[in-house]
Amino acid sequence: MKKELLLASALVSTMGFASVANAVTATMSGMHATALQGNDSDESTAGSIARDSSSDFSVSLSETTDGGIGISTSFMLANENSATHSAGLTLTFTDGSKLDVINGGNAAQTHDVSIPGAAGSPGVTVTSTNQAQTGLDFFGEAGDVSFEWHSAADFMADGLKIGASMSFDDGVAAAASAALESSWGLGATYVTSAGDTAVTIGAGIADAEFKDSDTTTDGSNGFHIGFSAVTGDLTVAAGYANGDKLVVAGNTMVYDNTVSAVGVKYVTGDVTLSAGFRSAEGDDGTLTAAGGTIDAKDETTLGVSYAVASGVTANLGWKNIDAKDEGASDNTGGTSWYLGATMSF
């Protein structure tokens, strides 16, 4: 009887503790993608086929104070639990604005426009010395000691949202590779309509300084602008970016890197068709001087997605890359296809 009373007392205590610990609202989401990926490199006479898979599991936590201020954070278990990615802390104010503190991110990257492309993740290997950057947000670094402010919707004008961010020195030593010292970013997104077409315009500008062996060196900087137009089931998008990029791995700089991207997407029933093209080139060199010759990549992508059931999507993707390293063909482009399915919740 004594043991039973002790057990009941412990159970009550545990339940009381759990009710306090679980006061915040927790939501979960995740996905698992599995596929076959085929690669046919320009430098090889034989192609290859291999399994390609990825998983993630995310948990979001949130609560609202008596004053109406929302407090939230999140963490993610990725790649079969091999890595944990944690967000900082987000404060949501009563006017709809938000402030990310600790690992806040960069406002320029927040406001880039999404360009349609392949379905799934077909990939082509390009030589590591080819440093041409293909993303519209290839610049815009931020460290853990950073914050990002997001305005409420319709800031000063209907359809306008803006953001600003700053990142500060976190004390990491810069020896074998450069370390981020400070950065800032500004971004804006404007949503409007033209007849039956919904138009989104996004733009951003950012600058970052790095230190190498505790000496300030050249850093990443640049701007991007893009638009997306949606008319019924058809989406057309395009973007452009220009700037410099410090590649920490190898301590190299890519000067005057330009990216042009265009994509189209069409939804018909449960099927989504997409296509995209990106062209990028930049002059890679040392941390203080350009090399004088151009690295370049042209990427063409196609995709077909089919909604098999709620949360289940079948994907067929294709990518082709033509690449040049130091102004000459590097023979490491080629084609890749992807055939698989994604399950998400």
Q: What is the pLDDT of residues 58-83, one digit of tens each?
A: 889 999 999 999 999 988 876 554 44
Cα(238)–Cα(253) distance, integer angstroms? 26
Residue percentage of the chain with pLDDT more than 90:
55
- Mean pLDDT, the chain, as a whole number? 85
Reduced to 3 states, what is the DSSP secondary structure of residue 174?
Answer: coil
Q: What single string gives the DSSP state of each residue in 236-301?
A: EEEEEEEEEEEETTTTEEEEEEEEEEEEEEEEETTEEEEEEEEEEEEEEE-SSSB-SS-EEEEEEE
Burial readout 250-260 (b: 16 or more C-beta within 10 A, e: otherwise): ebbbbbebbbb
Output the six-digit token pair for 183.
């950065």
**Strand spans (E) along the chain:** 25-41, 48-64, 70-78, 83-86, 89-92, 98-101, 146-150, 160-167, 179-194, 197-212, 215-217, 221-231, 234-247, 252-268, 271-285, 295-309, 312-325, 328-329, 334-344
Place of tokens 């440093």: 131
Contacts of 84 (CB under 8 A, 6+ apart): 75, 76, 77, 78
Distances, alpha carbon 300 to alpha carbons 105, 295, 317, 335, in Å: 29, 17, 11, 9
Q: How many whole angstroms separate alpha carbon 150 and alpha carbon 177?
A: 32
What pLDDT is recorded for position 1? Answer: 43
Write the single-letter amino acid at 145. V
Helix or strand or coil: residue 39?
A: strand
Cα 6 from Cα 57, distance rounded (Å): 37
| Cα separation, 226 vs 200, whole angstroms | 8
**What is the 8-class DSSP label of residue 78?**
E
Homologous superfamily (CATH) of 28-344 is: Porin (2.40.160.10)
Those residues whose C-beta lies under 8 Å from the C-beta of residue 179, and which sit 6 or more positions away, are 172, 173, 210, 211, 212, 248
Structure tokens that stand for 231 in this block: 């008319």
pLDDT at residue 250, as a whole number: 67
- Maximum average pLDDT range among 18-27, 41-50, 134-143, 286-295: 134-143
> Which of the four pLDDT bands, split at 50, 70 and 90, describes residue 232?
very high
Taking the C-alpha atoms of residue 160 and residue 275, their distance in angstroms, rounded to an integer, is 28
Model confidence at 17: pLDDT above 50: no
Q: How far apart are CA 182 and CA 166, in angstroms?
A: 8
| CA–CA gap between residue 201 and residue 31 (Å, rounded) | 30
Give CA–CA dist 252/218, Å, rounded: 10
Residue 248, pLDDT > 70, answer: yes
Tell me the pLDDT tens digit for each residue of 86-121.
Answer: 678 899 999 999 999 988 889 999 999 999 998 888
Q: Is the pLDDT of residue 201 over 90?
A: yes
φ, ψ at 233 (rounded to 5°): -95, 0
Q: How far apart, in whole angstroms, are the C-alpha atoms of residue 51 and residue 34?
A: 7
Domain ranges of the chain: 28-344
Phi and psi at residue 13, to the nearest 5°: -60, -45
